Amino acid sequence: MFTRKPATKSLSFIVLLCIAVCAPFMAHAETVETPDWAAPFAERVYEAWRDGAPMPQISVAYPDATLEEAYLVQRHFVKRMLETEEIGGYKAAGVANPAPEFPLIAMMPASGVLYASDDVVIELADDPNRHVENEIGFIFDKAITAPVADVATLRTHVEAIVAIVEVPGNPVEEEQPGTGNDIVAWNINGKDMILGKPHDPDAIDPDTIEITFTRNGEVINQARGDMAAGGQWHTLLKTVNHIIEQGYTLEPGHVITNGALNKIVKAEPGRHRADYGPLGVIEFEVQ
């Protein structure tokens, strides 16, 4: 069976979550020198995210910050999120870029893991600046707490492959053009992702998946799985190892969405249909 539903929140679960997730998270953080400004800036990002206000740009506040420092901000931000959220999985961004630091990674909240079978409706009232992205995802059935050596080993941890439409959210400041550091510090705007039906990962080559995405019958994106640099499995390996490097862990049931393929499209009202061929169809409404 490849079916997963979000776990029910409970105090005991949150305590266990902090033991399982926050401990390695903090152990990693202690190995990196943290600038004095990182935690206060992360608190600004968190408060803006919590209140639905535009999240501040690290590139404006600290233009000399490194990518590693941006990840320090992200980890502080995620730690604050975990006070009220659970981890549903992780996301990748910039998957077409073959540079070693790509793809960028971020945490996805469990509350944002949605299922196409549930007749999803995305509301723009609270955030009219959302986008829709065609992606391919992987559901894990074994924990990963250390870097993975190769794709063959990685595949033994993957239970299912799924079509995904990600719907990033949360307003952001735009005092200057956004940078990779901004995106990382914002947790890559992780908010919602819509999962299609799960499929046996040994039965489908994700690189051959052809995607046609329409809004009210009009094509708004066409993509193919191999648009990810090096292919989907290679990208997933880099993503998983970046997740571990940043002090996070993968647990059974977590999903990784492997990054936008071709266009990132502004979310607009209408009926959306994403056809992933052998991975099935995702339909949802934006209003």
Cα 158 to Cα 60, 138, 142, 258: the distances in Å are 39, 7, 7, 13
CB neighbours (10 Å) of residue 145? 11
Predicted local distance difference test score (pLDDT) of residue 43: 98
Three-state SS at 160:
strand
Average pLDDT of the chain is: 90
For residue 187, the model assigns a pLDDT of 98
Q: Is the pLDDT of residue 5 over 90?
A: no
Amino acid at 152: A
Answer whether 35's CB lies under 8 Å from 70's CB: no
| Strand order from edge to edge, sheet including 281-286 | 121-122, 281-286, 270-275, 210-215, 218-224
Q: How confident is the model at residue 31 (pLDDT cuts 50, 70, 90)?
A: low
Domains of the chain (ranges, CATH numbers): 11-286 (3.90.850.10)
pLDDT reading at 2 higher than 70? no
Write down the pTM of the prediction. 0.87
Please check whether residue 7 is in contact with residue 110, taking contact to mean a CB–CB distance below 8 angstroms. yes
Going 261 to 50 to 173 to 40, the CA torsion angle's sign is: negative
Residues whose CB is less than 8 angstroms from the CB of residue 36 and which lie 6 or more positions away in sequence, other chains included: none
Residues 57-72: tens digit of each pLDDT? 999 999 999 999 999 9
Mean pLDDT of 203-213: 98
In which band, very low, low, confident or very high, does the pLDDT at 32 lie, cut at 50, 70 and 90? low
225 strand-pairing partners: none
Share of the chain above pLDDT 70, in %: 89
How far from 198 is each of 33, 172, 279, CA to CA, in Å? Answer: 41, 33, 8
Q: Is the pLDDT of residue 127 over 50?
A: yes
> At 197, which amino acid appears?
K
Q: How confident is the model at residue 46 (pLDDT cuts 50, 70, 90)?
A: very high
Using omega within 30 degrees of 0 as the cis cutoff, is the peptide bond preceding 103 cis? Answer: yes
Q: What is the rounded end-to-end Cα distance, in angstroms, of the chain?
A: 33
Contact status, residue 264 vs residue 133, Cβ threshold 8 Å: yes
For residue 276, the model assigns a pLDDT of: 98
Amino acid at 219: V
